[in-house]
Structure 1
């Protein structure tokens, strides 16, 4: 038993000394920018509906997740085109939600994350009017 424990501890120590090299920030940023460029080029119209098994608005939760990631990229690598693309998306949906301001589906609130990020960069009360309306409806 003691030999097994000693062997496990030794293996842990040795394996930690051969751990992977840390990630290269420049390489990660390059790949993030490449993936984002692909998305922005493929879908230049931020308000265009999405066709899956049916036609859907572009402010569904899956797009909301993308735009939240875009805002995170903009935070670490500020670029006007990133900001403008997210702003165009918010404006195309009048800063509102799939399902309107009375939806209780949490998926529909995903867009609010990006709306709040955009608001924080350029505060204007009208930007969060729909977000506030939805949140107050839940009280």
Structure 2
């Protein structure tokens, strides 16, 4: 059974999908079950992955790495940063060479969840 907002990846072709509607079936791509990403929430490595969120001047700044930003190289980078505010999803796709930080100009909310996806280390979350 799938759950809303879960993220899955095909280990063969690299397709990544996010569940928008829960269902009983198994997600399959290229003839094989897709891998469910677990949301990781604590860093143990030198490279930081947990999204850091700041509310300032009527907007949210979300960056990957509070003091040292995550690398954004061709082979290792943050593919997207997502901010969920009171159930509404806001997402920015990134490319190598860009900064791993995004400003979202949206109203301040009560329930805040930030997620990011690193092409090498998977899905990371910070629930505020």
TM-score under structure 1 normalisation?
A: 0.24
Give the greater-gyration-radius structure (CA).
1
Larger proportion of strand? 2
**Of Structure 1 and Structure 2, which has the larger fraction of its residues in helix?**
1
Give the TM-score, by structure 2 length. Answer: 0.25
